[in-house]
Structure 1
């Protein structure tokens, strides 16, 4: 379903080999929290999505784990930015801004974290909406106001 959806939006989309249930379980163990169900389902079809201009619209599972662990624990980030504890990052725009699910309170919405201003704002209602917007718009700054 996710591959078909992405291909309908952007025929040039790139996919990776899917992950397995055991890999998802290990990732959740390392993160100390569950991945959103729709992200799990997407990763079981493709371990990430490569969008226009070769941007990792959705990161591979290992990248999701490593980047989130860094954002949640790096002391220099804690001094520079508001806490990232409520967010689960899963993709970026290729220029430093990152996309995340809000996990506290848990909701399907996608927010962008803009690294230059440390702002966080809504950009999509769920993962499908995010893919439609990010793959269709044709630019890495599709979410800019």
Structure 2
């Protein structure tokens, strides 16, 4: 992820969604999710996650920071469910940039 962000600092999808957000936005979004007291009462913990992209409809894509994993997960904004999308960033980017619709369902 770091190499990708150094090269292009974000990737936009066909529909204008943030397939990969800028480094600054990744840092801000992840910090906001972890710091929101009302989120802590309503949702599963966000501390292990680093959110880096979205589908344009509210669902967010993340890596697990602790313990570190290369797998990409999606957080469903309606249910707070977290599901495995794929096993690495390359596969995620391939799917995100080629497919239309819900590329992770």
Superposed structure 1 runs of 4+ greater than 6 Å apart: none
1:133 offset after TM fit, Å?
Answer: 1.1
TM-score, with normalisation over the residues of structure 2?
A: 0.96
The Cα offsets for residues 49-69 of structure 1, whole Å up to 9 and x where unpaired, read as 001111110001111011001
| 2:104 paired with 1:143 | yes
1:107 offset after TM fit, Å?
Answer: 1.0
CA distance in 2, matches of 1:134, 1:76: 31
Aligned to 1:114: 76
Query: Whose radius of gyration is greater, 1 or 2?
Result: 1
What are structure 2's unaligned runs of at least 5 residues? none
CA RMSD of aligned residues (A): 0.8
Which of 115, 123, 144 matches 2:85?
123
The Cα offsets for residues 82-136 of structure 1, whole Å up to 9 and x where unpaired, read as 0011111000001110000011221100000001001001001111010011111
Which of 3, 16, 33 matches 1:54?
16
| 2:61 paired with 1:103 | no
Question: Which one has the bigger helix percentage?
Answer: 1
RCO greater where, 1 or 2, for CA within 8 Å and sep 6 or more? 1
What is the number of residues matched between the two proteins? 105
